[in-house]
Structure 1
Amino acid sequence: MAHVHVILNQKGGVGKSTLAVNLAAVTADVLGGPLGGGDEQPPVVAVSIDPQGSAVWWSERVGDGLPFDFVQAHDDLAGLAALSRIPSAQHVFVDTPGWLDLAEGEGADPLGKGAAADALRAVLSNATDVIVPIEPEPLGFQPTQRTVEKVVKPRGLPFRVVINNWDPRDGKADLEQTRAFVEGQGWPLARTVVRHYKLHTRASADGLVVTQYGANKVALQAREDFFRLALEVGLAAIPKPARRKKTSRTTKKKAAV
């Protein structure tokens, strides 16, 4: 069974695509190519259910250099309901769209109705965990609160909030305010902060994922954030068990002597 990691926040523009694609990239980098070589598929898959398809365009720009499989599946409910059963996959990262909270009254589903809502429900029914990105600005606090309290927690899903796109040049006031907000809610907060770099904003147009950046200081720092985050949330830490080699009777007898 694959581990399905859903990148989720009601607010658009908080970096869900960037996190999904680059976490998939660093996880693929750690796990290597297809298990056993040959014609097997990569052990990491990125899935987008965002109808706008920004991650689709990004993956097309990377082309054959993409180190993981990519699927646009916003209209494939049957496929989304079976994400954890992709035969080759160890890890599946799902990029999701923002949405409007149209539900009214207690007990109503905050995801609302329609194709996008159905896709979100299908993905969450398969989720191993949820990563909730938040940018260090107050406008994102309420949408994040609705995401966690109305969607994630009622489903009993493990989750972690990640502060994304913090620009160190702006100082630490906004960063600390965002940390205080998350901690005040009692939510688990990642120690790793994904910093703002022009490299990240240019990556899709340049046809690069984070593991393909150059070797200069800024590129190494940008890449480090994603490796640290992947390590912190335990990605690539649970590989599929290796196939056991058959042991001959002679070998067993020698071992017993």
Structure 2
Amino acid sequence: MRESGGNHFAELQSIDEVYDAAVLDALAINKQQLQLLVHSGSRGLGQFILRQHIEQHGHRGLAVDTADCAAYLLAHQQAVQFATLNRRLIAQRILLRLSANGQALLDINHNLVLPAQMHGLQGWVHRKGATPADVGPVVIPGSRGDFSYLVLPLASDLSLNSLAHGAGRKWIRSECKGRLSPRYTVAQLSRTKLGSHVICADRQLIYEEAPEAYKPAENIISTLEGAGLIKVIARLRPVLTYKTRGECCE
């Protein structure tokens, strides 16, 4: 299946600046080595499960103690597991092409439903494009021409134990090529202001995911810091970004 949408990519990153060396060392991250960030999911399986649910039940909720709810949660968990395996496969293929070795340090899902207790109430948290703040350190990525940040979440019921999972779009995709093609060629968009390279064979996509289409990551990070929701561990600089709409990269 293809991705249903979103900013899916794999990116080699260097440690640009360290703010908490002790936490970085505890994560066994070597500042002299490149890090590989894979930002992808269930390749459309989750969206298929949602469409199937809506066809059968409309937009009504499901009672927890029913067979339909159990079936939905099982399918949901299978999609989450598929997303994890998908990221690992992407990472393995890239490392193989680079004749490199690596190990998974973090693996975080952004779209899922989990049981939770908030404000003294037992219920469910549905995160859609949100990073959980109760599973340890996470990466909040910027655009391909911006820094990403490794942060330590400070879990809070006020934020439903959740964080922004990225910089967020400034422009909708359909506007990007019209705004940017008079200013930049595809070749120019293959390099960023930070000196990194972009590999993207899709001429439409390279405009849709241009750095200008996204908010500055620093603004998001400073807002989360100001709200007391994160502590920044390190800043990550993009070196090489690979982007695709979901086709296999053999």
Q: Which has the larger radius of gyration?
A: 1
Q: TM-score, normalised by structure 1?
A: 0.30
Structure with the larger helix share: 1
Relative to its length, the structure with more strand (as a share) is: 2
TM-score by length of 2: 0.30
